[in-house]
Structure 1
Amino acid sequence: MIEVTLLGTGSPIPDARRAGPSTLVRAGGQTFLVDCGRGVLQRTAALGVGANSLSALLLTHLHSDHIADLGDVLITRWVSNFAPDLAPLPIIGPPGTAEVVENMLKAFGPDIGYRIAHHADLTAPPPVEVEEVTDGVVWGRDGVSIRVAPTDHRPVAPTIGFRIEHGGASVVLAGDTVPCRSLDDLTAGAGALVHTAIRKDLIDPLPMQRIKDICDYHSTVEQAAETAARAGVGILILTHYVPAIQPGQEEEWRALAASVFDRQIEIGDDLHRVEVHPGVCAKPGG
């Protein structure tokens, strides 16, 4: 079984009810944080999951809303772990990730220096191990495998999606993308697809061109559902709603997805949880 929790379902616009884009995936005793948007550690704290228990950080791309709390994750993991030899945090992302992580640690350089000077058991900066990838298998430990494939979020490039598999269960995390062949291939036959989605019908009437521009490189609800249908997945889990779903609008979004995808559709607030079992069996919760 793989457990998927939507930590943050919001957008770049601050929302009192929704943290920034981030998803927690637990499989085979391992815990993966996929993207780290605004407020992510508050959400993991609500689940009783600390930064020091993360197996790896997976980044779909380097847009600010998906990495806004990268520094918090790095520093909090470092200061809240009391092991004498803290292992590096694996960070897997597209090319450019290493530079972003390096610069984030530089930005926190004064803080890191203060803590090393004050605490005898902190003798080095937060340890990280960055792997930049665009395609292929990137993880294989204790029965959990992770595969990566390119997605299409141009002009943001490169961007990637992740497929996590364990014990016959599988989950794909698409990140921000328009429909593309490589995502179809990555998703084929998966138990669940976690996909960001926008409502073009609500965005098009707005007078600000900058807001309308987001339709160019994100999938609509219907397009996300079409990707799920083509791939034959068992569950479509929508997240990163733009504009934010207002209370009472959930069934509108669900109906749009259901117009092209006739299987299980999950739409929820932050901390919504879905269990993905081998085959098409799933148990929603949250």
Structure 2
Amino acid sequence: MIEVTLLGTGSPIPDARRAGPSTLVRAGDQTFLIDCGRGVLQRAAAIGVGANQLSALLLTHLHSDHIADLGDVLITRWVSNFSPDMPPLPIIGPPGTAEVVENTLKAFRFDIGYRIAHHADLTAPPLVEVEEVTDGVVWGRDEVSIRVGPTDHRPVEPTIGFRIEHHGASVVLAGDTVPCAGLDQLAAGAGALVHTVIRQDLVDALPVQRIRDICDYHSTVEQAAETATRAGVGILILTHYVPTLQPGQEDQWRALAASHFDRQIELGDDLHRVEVHPGVCAKPAW
């Protein structure tokens, strides 16, 4: 079984009820954080997960809302891990990730210096192990495998999605993308697809062109559902709602997805959890 928790279901616009885009996936004894939007560690703490418990950080792309709390993840993991031989944090993302991580640590260089000067057991900066990828298998440990495939969020490029598999269960995390062959191939036959979505009918009604521009490079609810249908996935999990999903609107969003996908549809607030079992045997965690 793989457990998916929507840590943050928000967007670049701050929302009192939603953290920034981030998803937690637990497979076997391993815990993966996919993207790290604002407030991610507070949400993770609500389900008993700390930064020092992460097996790896997976980044779909380098838009600010998806990496806003990268520095918090790096520093908090460092100061909250008391093992004398703490391994580096694996960070897997598209080209450009290494530069972003390097500059984030540089921005925190004063903080890092203060802590090393004050604590005898902190003798080096946070350890990271960055891998930049666009396609292929990137992880294979203790019966958990992770494969990467290209997505389409241009002009943001390259962007990637992740497929996590464990004992026959599989989850694909699409990130921001329009429908594309890369995502179709990555998601083919998966137990679940976690997909960011927008309501184009609501966005098109807004008077600001810059906001309406987001329709150019995000999937609508209907398009995400069509992708799930083409790929033959068991569960469609919606997240990163634009505009924000308001209380009482859940049935509207679900109906839009259901018009193109006739299997299990999950959406909800931050901390919504879904269990994904091998094959098509999948059910909500509650």
Which of the five TM-score ranges fits, normalised by the shorter chain? over 0.9
Quote the offset at 1:285 in angstroms: 3.1
Distance 2:205 2:73 in 1: 38
Quote the offset at 1:164 in angstroms: 0.2
Q: 5 Å matches for 1:225-236?
A: 225-236=225-236
SS in 2 for 1:99: helix
Q: Does 1:75 align with 2:49?
A: no
Distance 2:184 2:265 in 1: 18
Quote the offset at 1:90 in angstroms: 0.1
Quote the offset at 1:135 in angstroms: 0.2
Distance 2:85 2:139 in 1: 22
Distance 1:193 1:29 in 2: 21
Distance 2:37 2:28 in 1: 25
| Aligned equivalent of 2:6 | 6
Structure 1 residue runs of 4 or more that deviate by more than 6 Å after TM superposition = none
> Which amino acid in 2 is paired with 1:248?
G
SS in 1 for 2:195: strand
| Aligned equivalent of 2:267 | 267
User: What whole-Å deviation, never above 9, does each CA across 1:182-234 have from its counterpart, x for those lacking one?
Assistant: 10000000000000000000000111000000000000000000000000000
| Aligned equivalent of 2:211 | 211
| Aligned equivalent of 1:190 | 190
SS in 2 for 1:122: coil
User: What whole-Å deviation, never above 9, does each CA across 1:68-106 have from its counterpart, x for those lacking one?
Assistant: 000000000000000012100000000000000000000
Q: Does 1:179 align with 2:147?
A: no
> Which amino acid in 2 is paired with 1:167?
H
SS in 1 for 2:257: helix
User: What whole-Å deviation, never above 9, does each CA across 1:89-142 have from its counterpart, x for those lacking one?
Assistant: 000000000000000000000000000000000000000000000000000000
Quote the offset at 1:283 in angstroms: 2.0
Aligned residues: 286
> Which amino acid in 2 is paired with 1:48?
G
Distance 2:189 2:86 in 1: 38
Distance 1:80 1:245 in 2: 34
Distance 2:42 2:281 in 1: 30
Unaligned runs of 5+ in 1: none
Quote the sequence identity (%).
88
Quote the offset at 1:28 in angstroms: 1.4
Note the aligned Cα RMSD (angstroms).
0.5
User: What whole-Å deviation, never above 9, does each CA across 1:37-87 have from its counterpart, x for those lacking one?
Assistant: 000000000010000000000000000000000000000000000001210
| Aligned equivalent of 1:238 | 238
Distance 2:267 2:13 in 1: 19
Quote the offset at 1:26 in angstroms: 0.2
Distance 1:45 1:137 in 2: 30
Normalised TM-score (structure 1): 0.99
| Aligned equivalent of 2:47 | 47
SS in 2 for 1:254: helix
| Aligned equivalent of 1:35 | 35
Q: 5 Å matches for 1:48-67?
A: 48-67=48-67
Distance 2:153 2:265 in 1: 23
Distance 2:285 2:57 in 1: 24
